[in-house]
Chains A and B, each alone.
Chain A
Amino acid sequence: MAEVMRGTIRRWGSSLAIVGLVVALFAVGGVVVDGFASERSLRSILVLAAVVGVASAGQTLVVIIGGIDLSIPFLIGFANVTAAQLFGAEWPWPMVVLTTTVMTGTIGALNGWLSCRFRLHPLIVTLAVGTIAQGAVLWWTSGFPSGSVPRELTAVVSLGSATGPLPVPPIVPLWLAITTCLAVFERWTVLGRHLFALGSNPVAAELALVRPQRVWSITFGLSGILAGTTGVLLLGFTGQSSGTIGSPYLFQTIAAVVVGGTPLSGGQGTVARTALGSILLVELSTMLVGLRLPSPGLQVVFGLVLAALVAVYGRQKHTRELL
């Protein structure tokens, strides 16, 4: 018991570093940008981090098994448009959420299954399948998605709303709940351990009775569900749907994973750290926006930061053949 605890503390040690970074960056932001440390700003940061966080949680799981999911932005758009259409057709909101996430989850599972069964690189598979999904839904709506957004959904994300005694909109505790469930899944379920085994050494994992096709399908399926959830949540923000609403999340999810300290080579990492990475990312972008940096400039900065971070973190060799 003592040894497991010591190992856990060592893990937390570097997580502590990230938490420190989150706090430090917040302090810097408070000094450098007007209104950064206000209550409204803090709430805004949390809400944005929640959106990035939900999508990035799925990316984390996929990265742990040694893959990558580029379909997330497309599935976000898919879910956004589909949900709007279904709301417009007056479906009850639980049905809309269920239908949408089941669809994106199935597409995700397809990604995982194809990649594993045919030994294809998930980068290309998810890019291709995601493109198809987004194209299909835009084709269906002829590029003019219509529909509506119910009040309940807007209330979930709106900055003004609160969750019981907590002064944050429901999306934030929702994100924390999702992260917690996934963290338990990672650490305390056999399937969760199998994810890490597969990412660590696929050959040894299979000999240790891990079933690759099952794990890949489930993991990418989960990522799909989370991307779909993000798409539905985003509907509450703008009130108007768009098939391309997901595009910023391509790099944001990867950045959140990397910034949180999860190596892209697989076999390690945790959703909890990605959650911290999401907050860090949103802090950074809020700060840069406050400093009047135009949003393409943001993208440039992220690209450079990503390269720098992986150069530092990604020291370890990966033995698996990629393509």
Chain B
Amino acid sequence: MSRVDPQLRLSLALLATLAAVNLVANPARFAPEQLLTSLGLAAPVILVAMAATPSILSGSGGIDVSIGPMVGLLNVVIVRYGVGVLDAPPWLAVLLCVASGTALGLANGLLVVLARLQPIVATLSSYLVFAGLSVLIMPEPGGSVPRWMAALAKEFSWLPLAGVALAWSAFRWTPSHRDLLAIGGSDRAAYTAGVPVDVIRCAAYAMGGFIAGIAALAMTALIGSGDPNIGAPLTLKAIAAAALGGVSLAGGRGGLMNAGIGGLIVFLIDLTLTGVKASVFALQVALGVLLLGAVMSNAFLAQRRSA
């Protein structure tokens, strides 16, 4: 982007402030040896924010509120079946996880495009299904992960993010990326320009699922076990992060970079509040305020843009 979007400027300023605060309060965390571990802590939130983004970009009320429980479901599936039952080698585990995520995302996409459900309703339904299935598969948190997976949160914490960044960059080179932003802007205009609106929209949800698969790997690596309840709160964080980072909730504007910045902001807020030993409820209030502030600034700037 040659001109810097005001929303992005706001987010970067917020990011810089939070980074500075944390650097001063807790420099040890940012020491070179610790950097990869800290990245491992931040990666899940950043990746879930990225996973929520393609569906938002696709416009026409596009959103995926099931993204949190989707990651949660994949987490319990990896631990219970991938590790527990199959004892799969790394390449197979990763493949299965990412493929499953894509399939779940595709299911959402089909509900939106074929059954013509409003995205909020479609993904609310899948939210319920994924969350319920997570608890059915693994009623209590437990299980463990093999050494190679735990490394994804430590020495190799950069790998999941790099993987997504690479895949998205490749996508941006294709004309489909431009198509995605086009349908996000206006369905009708894109359609008359010959864009296969339904295919692209469906693909957007599938892409979100793909990234959710990688997010699930990072999350599993971090917590080292399966947790059926980890999914639900992730949705709020993901959407707040995407909006904060500059992804327009109306669709058609933004990208994974924005989501990444937003995810980093949410992570740093979490870190700051944990640092001051604030109650987990204070964090909840903070995230709610953040989400509200994010959508309000998003709306203000959108209004100004169209004026």
Q: In the complex, A306 Cα to B125 Cα: how many Å? A: 6
Q: In the complex, A139 Cα to B240 Cα: how many Å? A: 21
What 9 new A-B contacts, CB under 8 Å, besides A128-B288, A132-B288, A264-B121?
A114-B292, A124-B292, A131-B285, A132-B292, A135-B284, A143-B280, A299-B132, A304-B129, A306-B128
B86 within 8 A of A: no
Contact B249 A124 (CB under 8 A): yes
When distances are taken between beta carbons in the complex, the residues of chain B under 8 Å from A120 are 295-296, 299
A302 within 8 A of B: yes
Number of chain A residues whose Cβ lies closer than 8 Å to a Cβ of chain B: 46
Q: In the complex, A10 Cα to B115 Cα: how many Å? A: 27
Q: In the complex, A120 Cα to B295 Cα: how many Å? A: 7
- For window 156-188 of chain A, which residues contact chain B by CB distance below 8 Å? none
Contact A300 B124 (CB under 8 A): no
A121 within 8 A of B: yes
B117 within 8 A of A: yes
Question: A135 contacts which of B60, B239, B285 (Cβ < 8 Å)?
Answer: B285
When distances are taken between beta carbons in the complex, the residues of chain B under 8 Å from A297 are 132, 136
A1 within 8 A of B: no
Contact A134 B296 (CB under 8 A): no
Question: A307 contacts which of B61, B119, B122, B243 (Cβ < 8 Å)?
Answer: B122
Q: In the complex, A129 Cα to B282 Cα: how many Å? A: 14
Contact B118 A300 (CB under 8 A): no
B49 within 8 A of A: no
When distances are taken between beta carbons in the complex, the residues of chain B under 8 Å from A33 are none
**Residues in chain A within 8 A of chain B (CB atoms):** 68, 114, 118-121, 123-125, 127-132, 134-136, 138-139, 142-143, 251, 254, 258, 264-265, 294, 296-300, 302-304, 306-307, 310-311, 314-315, 318, 321-323
Known: A124-B239, A132-B285, A299-B128. A264 touches B111 (CB 8 A): no
**Residues in chain B within 8 A of chain A (CB atoms):** 56, 60-63, 111, 115-122, 124-129, 131-136, 236, 239-240, 243, 249-251, 279-285, 287-289, 291-292, 295-296, 299-300, 303
When distances are taken between beta carbons in the complex, the residues of chain B under 8 Å from A314 are 116-118, 121
When distances are taken between beta carbons in the complex, the residues of chain B under 8 Å from A306 are 121, 124-125, 128
Q: In the complex, A310 Cα to B116 Cα: how many Å? A: 9
When distances are taken between beta carbons in the complex, the residues of chain B under 8 Å from A139 are 279, 281-282, 284-285
Question: A129 contacts which of B61, B288, B299 (Cβ < 8 Å)?
Answer: B288
Interface centre among A124, A129, A318 (most CB of B within 10 A): A124
Q: In the complex, A55 Cα to B163 Cα: how many Å? A: 45
Q: How far is the CB of A149 from chain B (nearest CB, A)?
A: 23
11 pairs, CB–CB < 8 Å, chain A vs chain B: A118-B299, A120-B295, A121-B295, A123-B120, A128-B289, A130-B288, A131-B236, A132-B292, A297-B136, A298-B132, A307-B111
Give how many A-B residue pairs fall within 8 Å (CB-CB): 144
Q: In the complex, A139 Cα to B286 Cα: how many Å? A: 12
Contact B117 A322 (CB under 8 A): no
Contact B249 A323 (CB under 8 A): yes
Contact B132 A310 (CB under 8 A): no
Q: In the complex, A89 Cα to B194 Cα: how many Å? A: 67
Q: How far is the CB of A288 from chain B (nearest CB, A)?
A: 12
Q: In the complex, A321 Cα to B236 Cα: how many Å? A: 22
Contact A131 B132 (CB under 8 A): no
Contact A323 B62 (CB under 8 A): yes
Q: In the complex, A321 Cα to B291 Cα: how many Å? A: 20
Contact B299 A303 (CB under 8 A): no
Q: How far is the CB of A306 from chain B (nearest CB, A)?
A: 5
When distances are taken between beta carbons in the complex, the residues of chain B under 8 Å from A303 are 124-129, 132
Nearest A residue to B251, CB-CB: A323
Known: A300-B136, A321-B61. A143 touches B249 (CB 8 A): no
Nearest A residue to B130, CB-CB: A303
Instruction: Report, nearest first, the 6 A-B pairs whose CB atoms are least far apart.
Output: A303-B128, A135-B284, A322-B61, A299-B132, A132-B288, A131-B288
When distances are taken between beta carbons in the complex, the residues of chain A under 8 Å from B125 are 303-304, 306-307, 310
Question: B284 contacts which of A138, A142, A299 (Cβ < 8 Å)?
Answer: A138
Contact B120 A68 (CB under 8 A): yes
Nearest A residue to B280, CB-CB: A143
Known: A124-B291, A127-B291, A323-B61. A307 touches B120 (CB 8 A): no
Q: How far is the CB of A115 from chain B (nearest CB, A)?
A: 10
Contact A132 B289 (CB under 8 A): yes
Question: A131 contacts which of B126, B128, B134, B284 (Cβ < 8 Å)?
Answer: B284
Contact B133 A318 (CB under 8 A): no
